[in-house]
């Protein structure tokens, strides 16, 4: 007898005489054939599909734009660092020249 049932029968003795049934609830696994709604697009005929080509081109364009933005930010950061380095060199040279 489970702990819950034991506790309940102590509190409610009328439950001890009743029999309880346990029913399992299950669903059959849902199966989809190729081409059904929700199925993944695989190779073969789907590779030549205009929608697939357009989707791939759109993804490639997005990735190129993201890489272009990252590259521009890195170039700007390098330029800023080089400017700071030139300023620091001038300051160091000024300190060395002063007696």
pLDDT tens for each residue of 78-97: 999 999 999 999 999 988 88
The percent of residues in the chain predicted with pLDDT above 70, rounded, is: 51
pTM of the model: 0.46
Q: Residue 27 pLDDT > 70, yes or no?
A: no
Phi-psi region of 27 (alpha: psi -120 to 50; beta: other; left: phi over 0): beta
Cα Rg for the chain, rounded, in angstroms? 36
- Cα-based distances in Å from 49 to 45, 52, 56, 62: 7, 5, 11, 20
pLDDT tens for each residue of 28-64: 666 656 655 655 566 655 567 888 889 999 999 999 9
Neighbours of 46 (CB within 10 A): 13
**More confident position, 9 or 15:** 9
Mean pLDDT of 24-30: 62
pLDDT score at 97: 81
């Amino acid at each position: 007898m489970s702990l819950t049932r034991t506790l309940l029968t102590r509190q409610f003795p009328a439950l001890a005489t009743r029999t309880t049934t346990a029913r399992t609830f299950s669903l059959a696994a849902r199966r989809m054939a190729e081409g059904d709604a929700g199925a993944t697009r695989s190779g073969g005929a789907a590779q030549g599909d205009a929608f697939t080509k357009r989707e791939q081109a759109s993804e490639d364009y997005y990735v190129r734009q993201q890489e272009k933005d990252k590259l521009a930010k890195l170039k700007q950061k390098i330029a800023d660092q080089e400017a700071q380095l030139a300023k620091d060199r001038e300051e160091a040279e000024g300190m060395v020249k002063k007696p």
